[in-house]
Amino acid sequence: MAEFSWLSRSPLEHALVVGAHGARDIEPGISLTEIRNFDLIQVMARRGKAAELANATKARFGMAAPDLPKAVSASDATLIWSGPDQFLVLSKGGKQTMDILSQAFSQSASLSDQSHARALISVSGTKARAMLAKLSSIDLHPMAFPIDAAAATSIDHTSVNLWRGNDRGDGQAVFNLLVFATFAESLWHTMLDAAAEYGVDIRLSEELG
Amino acid sequence: MRIVCPFCGERELGEFTYLGDAKPVRPAANASEDEVFDYVYLRDNVAGETSEHWYHAGGCRAWLKITRNTLTHEISSVEPAAGVGAAKVGA
Amino acid sequence: MVSHAQSHRLESGGLIDRSAPLNFRFDGKTFAGFQGDTLASALIANSVKLVGRSFKYHRPRGILTSGSEEPNALVELRTGARREPNTKATTTELYDGLEAASQNRWPSLRHDLMAVNQLFSPIFVAGFYYKTFMWPAKFWEAIYEPAIRRAAGLGRAAGVADPDHYDKAWAYCDVLIAGSGPAGLAAALAAGRSGARVILCEEDFALGGRLLADGGMIDGMPAAEWVSRTLAELATLPDVRIMTRTTLFGVYDGGTYGAFERVNDHLPSPPEHQVRQRLWRVVAKRCVVAAGAIERPIVFAGNDTPGVMMASAVRTYVARYAATPAKRIALFTNNEDGWRTVETALGAGLQIAAVVDARPDVSAAHRALAGKTGFPVLNGSVSGVDGGKDGVRKISVALAGGARAEVEADGLAVSGGWNPAVGLTSYHRGRPKWQDDISAFVPDSAPPGMVAAGAASGAFGLGACLRQGFAAGAAAAQSAGHNGNTGTPPVADDEAFSLTPLWQVAGKGKAFVDYQHDVTASDIELAQREGFESVEHLKRYTTLGMATDQGKTSNVAGLAIMAAVSGKSIPETGTTIYRPPYVPVAIGALAGHHRDENFHATRLTPSHHWAAEQGAVFVDTGLWKRAQWYPRAGEKDWLESVNREVKAVRGGVGFCDVSTLGKIDVHGPDAGAFLDRVYINTFANLAVGKARYGLMLREDGMVYDDGTTSRLAEDHYFLTTTTAKAGPVMQHLEFCRQVLFPELDVQLTSVSDQWAQFSVAGPKTRDLLREIVDPAEDLSNEGFPFMGAREVLLRGGIRARLFRISFSGEMAFEISVPARYGDALVRNLMLAGKQFGVTPYGTEALGVMRIEKGHVAGPELNGTTTAADLGLGKMMSTKKDFVGRVMAGREALVAPDRQVVVGVKPTDRARRLRSGAHIIPKGEIPGTANDQGYVTSVCFSPTLDQWIGLALVERGRERIGEIVHAHDPLRGEDYDVELCNPVFYDPDGGRQRG
């Protein structure tokens, strides 16, 4: 009987090379970080169950899920609006799993595990907005897209969830992107191409921002 | 063209998919072949305000009913389809 | 390197940097210029007058303007892969090492043999294509067109792939401003001060518009100082963005604008990692068009002689670039503004040969200047030019009294007045209106949110430009919700502008209206005589305004001449429709990042990199890359590899990545009822733990898609779609859920990317899976029967789903694991399967086995087939309503003579079958009348050791055993095939159930 290993392999495993990319003679204007080890559960309210789901959400996270395009942070999860009657629960791997949430929302919502269906990429740096302007049609001006703003939108004709997290320590804005796993490598290359002229610092993280 | 999604706000045309005339209503199960034929094929060719189905495919995946002027492209209203927001039914 | 002296460069002045000399080459000769030059200004400084040959007649041409309206000075810029034809020398920034070549001449610019075209000019008149090359028809492609293309070219494309990168970007603002002249800068000041987000686009590399050449006093200081102070203030405002080298070229619905940025065109090649050009889509709440005006020529004989130049361009070259187009220059004007050129020229120490003013009432001040300086002022018109490729020598003047005069000059500045740039304001089918006092079209309306200011709206005075620009900027900001203090508007005096309309002067010789397309005044007169009087007909018949300059210098003059010969007023004659782009936009910029491997986004399956390690050959399937087959050393072709893969599955075990199938979670209490309405068969009664094959129709009754759907819980189904229809089916199901059946409590989520799914097939499948699956799981036929579906535990604690479904016809399971374990699963399958000879197989083997089993796929699910056509009519429930039910019952869709799926095999076993061959009754001559269908799918079946196929054939199922004729005119093949049962392999299905 063979010994099996079940290595979890990120859809960016092949493409992501930690370190510098693009223009080298300048301070990197873009920081690109892939975040691994997360759980992502799609929660869709059942018919007429908005109030019940809201109660269950409050009971579980101590806060309501956003009713408009926002991403709000609870102590160990981020609730990301993803459309009418639905939101995503993003958490560090093992914290808010399908099994746990199925119990919490069994009467009020339909759940789908998307933990393996997306790659999570965080974009920051002085040129983050300039780079994202090449990829996204969303207005990311600080007034138009403040901290916690979220958008279900498209990059390269591919659906993404985009939201603004807390600013970095140096005050730079942080934009998080959930992209489809099977598109991730292709989008990663597109992002690198868009970012190359500003200088890129590529990292990996096991921690949600 | 830009469309104001009632959920996502103003977005560029590329995020949306056009289906067609939103006026015809799917006939009941006992409808005649003629009624269904009209539902499937009969369309007005309107110069002016029309009601259309659009899908926010590249956004929140809501089906929308959009009133648009075919002469000016002006959009006068965008409403979610009947089944969007069903969680709040009866609330 | 020997540089020619800059004989026509002033010692001082101008906005060039004399400390930064640059060398460049034009037609192989080396010249010198300075940083801040354009190619045109540097050529002028080097006394190069002849820069190109005209389009039809190969007439020698010089530089006419100093901006993007230039019709003449088009060159091939750069060499090799970066060679770009039809580049305007007037907007090309000089850089060190620039190489340019004149175009449309052979063998050289000075000795162009094609200039004989001028001798044949009678046949090149308006409409000559339509008249001359009518007969014989076959000569057109073979002889006429190639010859004309050679003779009337516009430069040569590089002919190889563009090595540079381009991209596209989005920008947002409250107020978008086109142009950085006095009106544009004043608008930016007002809007920026009020707190609005402002983007100002300027196509030039320097800011200031006409102020750069014409100066003036603003707020009591020289214009240049005001510009630099204004720019300094704008730089302090947080949300004002100034984009130079950027042309606003179009306006689209909803306040979306197109802008074209030449990011690195001013360098020999873009720095590493940078793009050459960028296309901007700007979303603006308001737009102020301060794009200025374009000076217009006057049509007279010889007006295209090198050395004849727009008066404003002469000022630009002298004042901005310190380059003198002539030493002794004459001016021909019909308006006050033209006289500024005299002042500029005199200020630079040039000689004025004469001023020819069409107006009888030249001011006393001008006469005094003429008297003091010693040049004649002639009341009349220039009627001819004596000169050639070396420039102007002498001009003939028709004096107002009827007498004639001649003036010796080496340059002629012309001003026929100014046309506001009405492009942007007219792009939504707006028609500009005629304004008598300036004899020009001005904007009458504009797209929503847009307003014109300054010269673009017909206000030619400096004071008026500033006032209008400032007011427009303030109003735009306010209507976008910004009410901050706009401060004091800049102030300047308004110069007088008096003009006597003059479009055309009678004379001998060709008088050009459209320089770039060689359209003359007599072409327009001819068009009118032949009935092409409407401006849209005039344009197409003569090609007036249809060149890359879009008639910026020619349209209005053309209309005026047409008005005159047809006896109408200019406003009655009207304008043609204006359409974007305002300047040519490179296809590369429109494509942006989307070229070559980035043409579209690519999807990779979870086993992709493993498959690549195995040396798999990949095929593009929609956006996906799928392993097509896995070649092994020694295999001579794809067929050998595919045959091996098929045999391995049929005789042992193999696996294939089928993660590309669309996967949708259907949740909710009404999930079953929902599926019953979208599938033709029933799903509400499907037991938990079971899978069922389902077929969907379109509402018109044709088959839409198929796939298996499993019930994983009472309120949870897992639906699969074909690879091709994954997206469309999701959209269709959401339409059904949200629009058609809103009363159902059902939720849909795409989980396509969540699961890595593999088909494991072959008689040894169970043996292999038992190595992978936890020993506690019962995989026996009783414990996991055909069409079973449930979650199982794998060895090592991973949870997976198993579906006992088969596309290959073998004993098979589909196994799915969360996608990040897909790579591990495939490696574990290989490891565990080694003892069973496990063989990965690609889409080709998958296709072979599905044809052997008679399963329909894309070629049969082609949008024109019904369920019955596919042999699946019995699935159609009669007990419920579903999408497509009623229309599927239409007479023609249930007609007995429809083409239905049947198997085909050649009577000659050695023969290869091909898709697309037509089925004709045996013994009949092929034709549309007896065309009974066609072959849809073919493969070589290693199992049957011959080519087999599926076909759609009239009454096919009733004709099993009949020999028919396969006619393939595309490949010139004719052969007999036998119609047979489409299930070639294991027709009773014992293998997949075993």
Q: Domain locations in chain C?
A: 17-132, 166-292+421-479, 324-415, 603-659+755-849, 662-750, 896-993
Chain B residues with beta carbon closer than 8 angstroms to that of A48: 86-91
Residue A99, token pair as written in the block: 């099994």
Q: What are phi and psi of C469, to 5 degrees?
A: -65, -45
Question: DSSP of C818-869, one letter per residue?
Answer: EGGGHHHHHHHHHHHHGGGT-EE--HHHHHHHHHHTT---TTTSSSS--TTT
Q: In what order do the strands lie in the sheet with C662-667?
A: C690-697, C703-713, C716-721, C662-667, C747-750
Cβ within 8 Å, pair B55-C731: yes
What is the chain C residue with the closest CA to A25?
Answer: C272
- Nearest Cβ partner of A83 from B7, B11, B86? B7
Q: CB-CB: which of C254, C281, C738 is closest to B63?
A: C738
Q: Is C380's pLDDT higher than 70?
A: yes
User: What are the chain A neighbours of B7 within 8 Å (beta carbons)?
Assistant: 68-69, 83-84
Of C949, C946, C954, C948, nearest to C920 by C-alpha is C954
Chain B residues with at least one Cβ partner in A under 8 Å: 7-9, 11-12, 14-15, 57-62, 80, 84-91
Residue C140 has a pLDDT of: 61
Class for domain C896-993, per CATH? mainly beta
Fill in the amino acid letter for C208: G
Q: Answer yes or no: are the C-beta atoms of C938 and C847 closer than 8 Å.
A: no
Locate the DSSP E strands across C345-399: 351-357, 377-388, 391-399
* Closest by CA position to A136, among listed A80, A193, A177: A177
Q: What is the mean pLDDT of residues C397-405?
A: 95
Q: Which residue bears the tokens 């969360």?
A: C818
> Which chain A residue shows the shortest CA-CA distance from C745?
A47
B63·C254 Cβ contact <8 A:
no
Long-range Cβ contact pairs of A53-57 (< 8 A, separation 24 or more) = A53/A105, A53/A108, A53/A109, A53/B87, A55/A108, A56/A104, A56/A105, A56/A107, A56/A108, A56/A109, A57/A105
Q: Answer yes or no: is pLDDT of A192 > 70.
A: yes
Q: Which pair of tokens denotes residue A22?
A: 């693009």
Which H or E run includes A89? Answer: strand A86-92
Q: What percent of chain C has pLDDT over 90?
A: 91
Fold (topology level) of A38-113: Alpha-Beta Plaits (3.30.70)
State the chains in contact with B (3 or more Cβ–Cβ pairs under 8 Å). A, C
Looking at the DSSP bridge assignments, the partners of residue C773 are: C794
Q: What is the pLDDT of residue C105?
A: 76
Q: Would you call A147 an interface residue with chain C, using a CB distance cutoff of 8 Å?
A: no
Chains within contact range of chain A (3+ C-beta pairs < 8 Å): B, C
Residue C131 pLDDT: 64
CB atoms within 10 A of CB C406: 12
pLDDT of residue C879: 94
Q: Which helix (H) or strand (E) is A72 found in, with range? A: strand A71-73
Q: Write the DSSP assignment of C33-50 as a string of letters.
A: EEET-BHHHHHHHTT---
C713: helix, coil or strand? strand
Q: What is the pLDDT of residue C1?
A: 42
Whether C667 sits inside 8 A of A110 (CB atoms) is yes
10 Å CB burial of residue C330 (0-12, 13-18, 19+) is buried
Query: Across the interface, do A110 and C715 touch by the CB < 8 Å criterion?
Result: yes
For C101, the token pair is 């070549």
Asked whether the domain spanning C662-750 has the same topology as the one spanning C324-415, the reply is: no
3-state secondary structure C186-248: HHHHHHHHCCCCEEEECCCCCCCCCHHHHCCEECCEEHHHHHHHHHHHHHHCCCEEEECCEEE
Asked if A153 reaches chain B (Cβ–Cβ under 8 Å), the answer is yes
Contacts of B59 in chain A (CB under 8 A): 83, 151-154, 159
Q: Is the previous residue joined to C580 through a cis bond, with omega within 30 degrees of 0?
A: no
| C669 in reach of chain B (CB within 8 A) | no
B19-58: per-residue pLDDT in tens? Answer: 999 999 999 999 999 999 999 999 999 999 999 999 999 9
For C868-885, what is each residue's pLDDT tens digit?
A: 999 999 999 999 999 999
Round to whole Å and give the CA distance between A134 and C841: 39
> Which pLDDT belongs to residue C2?
44
- Nearest-CA distance from A14 to chain C in Å? 8
Asked if A149 has any chain B CB less than 8 Å from its own CB, the reply is no
CB C306 within 8 A of CB C387: yes
Is B87–A157 a contact, with Cβ atoms under 8 angstroms apart? no
Which residue from A14, A117, A157 is facing C751, i.e. has the nearest CB? A117
Tokens of C119: 């001798």
Structure tokens, C521 = 């005044």
On the question of pLDDT at C491 being above 80, the answer is: yes
pTM value is 0.94
Subunit contact C273:A156, Cβ cutoff 8 A: no
Burial (0-12, 13-18, 19+ Cβ within 10 Å), A148: middle
Helices C638-651 & C843-852, crossing angle to 10 degrees? 60
How near does any CA of chain B get to the CA of A62, in Å? 21
Closest Cβ–Cβ partner in A46, A84, A154 for B58: A154
Residue among B1, B27, B41 minimizing CB distance to C253: B1
pLDDT in tens, C239-297: 999 999 999 999 999 999 999 999 999 999 999 999 999 999 999 999 999 999 999 99
Hey, what CATH topology would domain A19-36+117-205 get? Gyrase A; domain 2 (3.30.1360)
Per-residue pLDDT reduced to its tens digit, C902-949:
999 999 999 999 999 999 999 999 999 999 999 999 999 999 999 999
Report domain extents, chain A. Answer: 19-36+117-205, 38-113
Q: Which of C130, B8, B41 is nearest to A150 (CA)?
A: B8
Could you check whether A19-36+117-205 and A38-113 share the same CATH topology? no
| Contact C149/A at CB under 8 A | no
pLDDT tier at C135, thresholds 50, 70, 90: low
Q: Three-state DSSP class for C518? A: coil
Residues of C in contact with B55 (CB under 8 A): 731, 734-735
Does B83 contact C741 at a Cβ distance shorter than 8 Å?
yes
CATH assignment of C324-415, given 2.40.70.10, 3.50.50.60, 3.40.190.10, 3.10.129.10?
3.50.50.60
CATH number of C603-659+755-849: 3.30.1360.120
Cβ separation B11–A47 shorter than 8 A: no
pLDDT digits (tens, 9 = 90+) for C418-438: 999 999 999 998 999 999 999
Q: Is the peptide bond before C581 cis (omega within 30 degrees of 0)?
A: yes
Closest CA to C46 of C70, C65, C21, C68: C21
Mutation pick from C678, C732, C739 vs chain B, by most beta carbons of B within 10 Å, is: C739
CATH (residue range C17-132): 3.10.20.440
Instruction: Say yes or no for a CB contact (<8 Å) between B81 and C255.
Output: no
| Residue A84 to residue B85, Cβ atoms within 8 A | yes
Q: Is the peptide bond before C107 cis (omega within 30 degrees of 0)?
A: yes
Q: Is A71 helix (H, G, I), strand (E, B) or coil?
A: strand
Who among C749, C797, C819 is closest to A116 (CB)?
C819
Chain C residues inside the 8 Å CB shell of A14: 609
Closest Cβ–Cβ partner in C601, C822, C828 for A157: C601
Which tens digits make up the pLDDT trace of C714-773?
Answer: 999 999 999 999 999 999 999 999 999 999 999 999 999 999 999 999 999 999 999 999
**Phi, psi angle pair for C98, to nearest 5°:** -55, 140
Query: How close is the nearest chain C Cα to the Cα of A101, in Å?
Result: 15
CATH 3.30.70.1400 fits C662-750, yes or no: yes
φ/ψ (deg, to 5) at C247: -105, 125
Given a cut of 90, is residue B61 above it in pLDDT?
yes
DSSP C662-701: EEEEEESTTHHHHHHHHBSS--TTPPTTEEEEEEEE-TTS
CA dist., res. C432 & res. C423, Å (int): 9
What CA–CA distances, in Å, run from C238 to A143, C199, C235, C762, C936?
A: 12, 11, 7, 68, 63
SS (H, E, C) B20-69: EECCCCCCCCCCCHHHHHHHHHCCCCCCCEEEEEEECCCCCCCEEEEEEE
Question: What pLDDT was estimated at residue C496?
Answer: 84
Q: Dump pLDDT digits (tens) for C776-833.
A: 999 999 999 999 999 999 999 999 999 999 999 999 999 999 999 999 999 999 999 9
Per the CB < 8 A criterion, the answer to whether C278 and C167 are in contact is yes
Per-residue model confidence (pLDDT) at position A107: 85
Q: Are A123 and A131 in contact (CB under 8 A)?
A: yes
- The residue type found at C137 is A
**Which strand (E) or helix (H) includes residue C769?**
helix C765-772
Are C194 and C483 within 8 A, CB to CB? yes
Instruction: Give Cβ neighbours of residue C591 (< 8 Å, ≥ 6 apart).
Output: C166
Q: Which two tokens stand for residue A105?
A: 């929302």
Phi/psi at A175 (5° precision): -115, 130
Mean pLDDT of C646-657: 98
Question: Across all residues in chain C, what is the average pLDDT?
Answer: 94
Q: What is the CATH number of domain C166-292+421-479?
A: 3.50.50.60
Q: How far apart are CA A174 and CA A151, in angstroms?
A: 14
CATH of B2-24+32-82, one of 3.40.50.300, 3.30.2270.10, 3.40.228.10, 3.30.70.890: 3.30.2270.10
